[in-house]
């Protein structure tokens, strides 16, 4: 499996978790997903980095996710 496919699957998992507000109900799970993505930080595009940073902010501040 290509690295970009792995990253894409993890970003999809993060998106699913955020839409279901799991960053509020299950913060450890979402933090784990974020950590699994950030280890590929150097190959992420700017949009993906911004998305992960927004997810991290929502998690830290316990704010509802509104796409």
The count of structural domains within the chain is: 1
Report the predicted TM-score, pTM, of the whole model to 2 decimal places.
Answer: 0.93
The answer as to whether 67 is a domain residue is no
**Residue with tokens 């991290």, as numbered in its chain:** 56
- How confident is the chain (67 residues) per 10-residue block, as mean pLDDT? 93 98 97 97 96 97 92
Q: Is 18 contained in some domain?
A: yes
Give percent above pLDDT 70 in the chain: 99
- What is the Cα–Cα distance from 2 to 4, expressed in whole angstroms? 5
List the one residue out of 5, 15, 29, 23 whose CA is nearest residue 61: 23
Segments forming the whole domain that contains residue 35: 3-61
Q: Rounded distance, CA 49 to CA 21, Å? A: 20
**Closest by alpha carbon to 36, among 54, 16, 10, 58?**
10
Indicate whether 66 belongs to any domain: no
């Amino acid at each position: 499996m290509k690295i970009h496919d792995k990253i894409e699957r993890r970003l999809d998992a993060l998106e699913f978790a955020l839409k279901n507000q799991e960053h509020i109900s299950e913060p450890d799970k979402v933090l784990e997903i974020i950590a699994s993505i950030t280890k590929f930080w150097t190959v992420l595009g700017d949009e993906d980095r911004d998305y992960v940073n927004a997810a991290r902010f929502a998690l830290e501040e316990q704010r509802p996710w509104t796409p």
